[in-house]
């Protein structure tokens, strides 16, 4: 059975990490595929320059905010996602994940997308999608 995280990894082949996550859950939050892609345009590569948070995590943040519809709940859920992602991968910043400074890649983009989706689904109780 193909899960959403597998769909997101497949989408990653043609778009950035944020777009892959947002587009995979677009139907859950009432977005069209094109709207999802547009929302994620600037979030890829750690917000365009590898200095920011991993695009897969920023994509997850967009979905979390739309699913919960509540600022405080969104912050709590996203904090949990960030903590779990950090524990699993050793970083949340794109530059560190890709090993730009250390020349040691901690996690590939497809794996970051898969992890972000898996953790987000568990935290939101969406793992039955």
Q: Could you tell me the two tokens for 31?
A: 């977005």
For 104, other C-beta atoms within 10 Å of its C-beta total: 9
Render pLDDT for 67-85 as a digit per residue (tens, 0 to 9). 999 999 999 999 999 999 9
The structure's pTM equals: 0.95
Residue 56 near residue 20, CB atoms below 8 Å = yes
Q: What is the length of the chain?
A: 129
- Per-residue confidence (pLDDT) for residue 75, from 0 to 100: 97
Residue 114 near residue 83, CB atoms below 8 Å = no
Render pLDDT for 81-129 as a digit per residue (tens, 0 to 9). 999 999 999 999 999 999 999 999 999 999 999 999 999 999 999 876 5
C-alpha dihedral (120, 56, 93, 62), degrees to nearest 10: -70
* Rounded-to-integer distance, Cα 77 and Cα 27, Å: 20
- Per-residue confidence (pLDDT) for residue 1, from 0 to 100: 65
- Per-residue confidence (pLDDT) for residue 128, from 0 to 100: 65
In this structure, what are the phi and psi dihedrals at residue 102, rounded to the nearest 5 degrees?
Answer: -95, -15
């Amino acid at each position: 059975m193909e899960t959403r995280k597998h769909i997101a990894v497949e989408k990653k082949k043609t778009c950035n990490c944020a777009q892959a996550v947002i587009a995979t859950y677009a139907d859950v939050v009432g977005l069209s595929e094109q709207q999802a892609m547009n929302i994620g345009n600037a979030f890829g590569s750690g917000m365009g320059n590898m200095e920011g948070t991993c695009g897969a995590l920023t994509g997850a943040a967009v979905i979390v905010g739309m699913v919960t519809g509540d600022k405080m709940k969104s912050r709590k859920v996203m904090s949990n996602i960030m903590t779990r992602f950090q524990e699993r991968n050793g970083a949340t910043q794109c530059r560190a994940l890709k090993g730009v400074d250390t020349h040691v890649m901690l996690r590939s983009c497809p794996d970051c997308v898969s992890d972000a989706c898996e953790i987000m689904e568990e935290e939101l109780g969406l793992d039955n999608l």
